[in-house]
Amino acid sequence: MSLPTDPDQQTTQQEQARAQVWDRLLAEVASLPALPGVYRYFDARGDVLYVGKARDLKRRVSSYFHKNHGGSRIGYMVSRIERMETTVVRSEAEALLLENNLIKTLNPRYNILFRDDKSYPYLKISTQTFPRMSYYRGAVDRRHRYYGPYPNAWAVKETIQLMQKVFLIRTCEDAVFKNRSRPCLLFQIKRCSGPCVDLISKEDYAASVGQAERFLLGEPEAVLADLQTRMMSHAERMEYEKAGEIRDQIKSLSAVLHQQAVETVMDKDVDVLAVKVQGGRACVNLAMVRGGRHLGDRAHFPVHVQDHVLSPEDAAEVDAQGQGEASNADALTQATEVRVMEAFLAQHYIGGAMPAMLILSHMVDPELIDALGEQGGRKVTVVYQPREQRRAWLDMAITGATLSLARLLSEEGSQQARTRALVEALNLDLDLEGRSAGLSSDEAGEQAGEQADDQAGQGEAATDAPVDAKDAATRDPLASLRIECFDISHTAGEATQASCVVYEQHKMQSSQYRRYNINDITPGDDYAAMKQALERRYSATGTKAARVPDIVLIDGGKGQVSMAREVFEALGIPLSIIVGVEKGEGRKVGLEELVFADGRPKLQLSPSSAALMLVAQIRDEAHRFAITGMRAKRA
């Protein structure tokens, strides 16, 4: 069957195809049950657009297809739905758990997504005759005891130092412990009791471990009372040396408790969460209290917040409550913050440890908390209007979220300024229309050219997609600037590897990095290595030819640029995109010169130039990526 050449005829066929898809979707919606469940929307390529839960599947899903969403983001999403899947569950709580498991697995385009962070560290105490205390990340082994999670590595290591100082628990590896003939330096500086050479009995060591665990569980006063009792008992038996050792323990523990600026006796394990949304970005700040000690906080930044749309019912409710543009905007921000908070709670705590108390800056759905508590096997208390010490914790978390988000927005603004400076320094003319039509499979290409791709390859009518491709790129034309940088690394000619790193959307795109093992060249011939890497990257004979970027940075001077020129001439790629980064006089940082393959004279930028900062950032990342790959290959 031949495709029609008449644009009007082709558009008519696309409209007819879309109408058939729409009729099929409406028929599926009409047959949905009025039961709780989870729904998933897919586009023509099979990519997941959105995952949602519903108390009433039929009512919820119908709201997407039986209302006019205009040119909103939700309207654009609905116009791309090619098929849908639904799963019926027994309760809304089950729907919530399934929804967020699917979100974490499928990474839908229109859901708020948090990075699946399994890297929270723990303090581990092994189950041995003389238990070892250590820093731990990874899956929990039930044979041992774990305390945490902690917000960062520093908090764990500080706690380990405290346990060493007060309770003298060993931290050495088992292989070292079993082969000691005399105590190590930690024993000499009174940070270990020397169990490796039997300088402490099993019973006394076990008692110290028990006291350390009680302290970690938030019972410092009980530990102090026990130590005082033991000290007096030794003194009465005139065992003054042992009484003195316990006295030193009490002194150290008392000093630690006195230094704790943020502490409480009532609360043991508490998580404090605050959310802030601004400028299309969001931050959830998680502060952790473990054993009554405030251990610090960690900021989390979800993706797709700027693309996130409220459900039709939620959007209508916000519109009804708004009393004007300002109040409506505030209500939308508040609603988005609640949705971000709920997304974080579900994605962070499903399948993970959950404390007995949460202090939250925004009120969330009680059924969410009940479902999380049920899957965690414990009752969870939520506090929204805390007082006294809890109020101080929440205020600290809110301040941390505000500052972290402001820092992120400032850094992103700085990156945009660097991108703009480089475009101006190189006098680049970004062809937005050509960029929109020339697609890449990454998210940046989707953001700038989604509609053009959909219309050309998916059979959607032009009227179905409310976002124009050129308009999407025009919002931030610099975001579509793509820079690829190459570097060569080897050890005396061995284990040669070439690295290619990608800069787009004002940041490094680590998922698009590539390494190339270089073979069949003279060891140490960097020119031949660069030639092979460029040919493999841009040759159209490969299994998947890479999109030609706007700038190809070569870490090298005239020699490397000449080699790149030779490759690009053979492949028919414009020479104007080749930019070599040549080290300046004395190879000093900030004196680099840019070398061009198309005959332009060298360009030396000011050491304080934002454009040079960006070039150095990308070049250094390529160097780092090449070195780590080469070392791994050599090992």
**Per-residue model confidence as pLDDT tens digits over 428-444:** 876 544 443 333 333 33
- Euclidean distance between CA atoms 496 and 518, whole angstroms: 6
Q: Where are the domains of the chain?
A: 18-106, 122-259, 270-406, 432-478, 482-634
**Does residue 26 contact residue 65 with C-beta atoms inside 8 Å?**
yes
Q: Please give the backbone phi and psi of residue 553, each rounded to the nearest 5 degrees, phi first.
A: -85, 130
As a whole-number percent, the residues of the chain with pLDDT over 70 amount to 79
Q: What CATH number should be reported for the domain whose range is 482-634?
A: 3.30.420.340
Q: Where are the beta strands (DSSP E) in 348-455?
A: 357-360, 381-383
| CA gap 57, 476 in Å, rounded | 38
Same topology between domain 18-106 and domain 482-634: no
Asked if CATH classification 3.40.1440.10 holds for the domain at 18-106, the reply, yes or no, is yes
Asked whether the predicted pLDDT for residue 118 surpasses 70, the reply is no
Distance CA 581, CA 604 (A): 10
State pTM to two decimals. 0.62
- Give the rounded percent of residues in the chain with a pLDDT score beyond 90: 11
pLDDT in the model for residue 320? 46
Using pLDDT thresholds of 50, 70 and 90, give the confidence band for residue 312.
Answer: very low
User: Please, are residues 487 and 498 in contact by the beta-carbon 8 Å criterion?
Assistant: yes
Highest mean pLDDT among 324-333, 413-422, 461-470, 520-529: 413-422
pLDDT, average across residues 270-299: 86
pLDDT in tens, 166-225: 888 899 988 888 888 888 889 888 889 889 988 888 888 988 888 888 878 767 677 777
Beta strands in 55-154, from DSSP E residues, in sequence order: 83-88, 122-125, 133-136, 145-147
Alpha-carbon gap, residue 205 to 132, rounded angstroms: 11
In one-letter notation, the amino acid at residue 504 is: E
pLDDT value of position 388: 83
Cβ 49 vs Cβ 94: under 8 Å: no
**What CA–CA distance (Å, rounded) separates 84 from 124?**
45
**Confidence band (pLDDT; 50, 70, 90) for 10?**
low
Q: What is the pLDDT of residue 446?
A: 38
7-21, 383-397, 413-427, range with the lowest pLDDT: 7-21
In this predicted structure, the answer to whether residue 305 has a pLDDT above a threshold of 60 is yes
Tell me the residue type at 290. Answer: R
pLDDT of residue 266: 52
Residues 522, 523, 527, 530, CA torsion sign:
positive
Per-residue pLDDT tens for 373-385?
Answer: 887 777 889 999 9
**Whats the size of the chain, residue-wise?**
635
Three-state DSSP state, 288 = strand
Which residues, in sequence order, are CB contacts of 73 under 8 Å at separation 6+? Answer: 110, 307, 309
- pLDDT of res. 503: 93
Residue 284, pLDDT score: 93
Q: What is the mean pLDDT of residues 542-563?
A: 78
Give the per-residue pLDDT at 363. Answer: 92
Compute CA 569 distance to the chain's CA centroid, rounded to the nearest angstrom: 40
pLDDT tops 60 at residue 42: yes
Average pLDDT, rounded, for the chain: 78
Worst-scoring range by mean pLDDT, 61-65, 85-89, 474-478, 514-518?
Answer: 474-478
Q: What letter does residue 463 receive in the DSSP assignment? A: G
Three-state DSSP at 634 gives helix
CA distance readout (Å), 442 to 4, 131, 194, 549:
30, 49, 57, 13
Q: What is the pLDDT of residue 635?
A: 67
Q: How many Å apart are CA 290 and CA 633, to the nearest integer?
A: 41
Class of the CATH domain delimited by 270-406: alpha beta
For residue 460, the model assigns a pLDDT of 31
Tens of pLDDT, residues 600-625: 888 888 777 888 888 988 998 988 88
Q: What is the pLDDT of residues 501-513, one digit of tens each?
A: 999 988 899 889 9
> Packing angle between helix 325-349 and helix 312-321, nearest 10 degrees?
140
Residue 552 pLDDT class (50, 70, 90 cuts): very high
CA atoms within 13 A on the CB side of 521: 21
What gap in Å lies between CA 470 and CA 448, rounded to an integer?
Answer: 7
Range list of β-strands (E), 492-599:
494-504, 507-508, 514-517, 551-554, 578-582, 593-596
Distance (Å) of CA 475 to CA 111, 292, 367, 467, 468? 22, 48, 39, 11, 11
So what's the pLDDT on residue 441? 33
Closest residue by Cα to residue 296 from 164, 411, 403, 158:
158
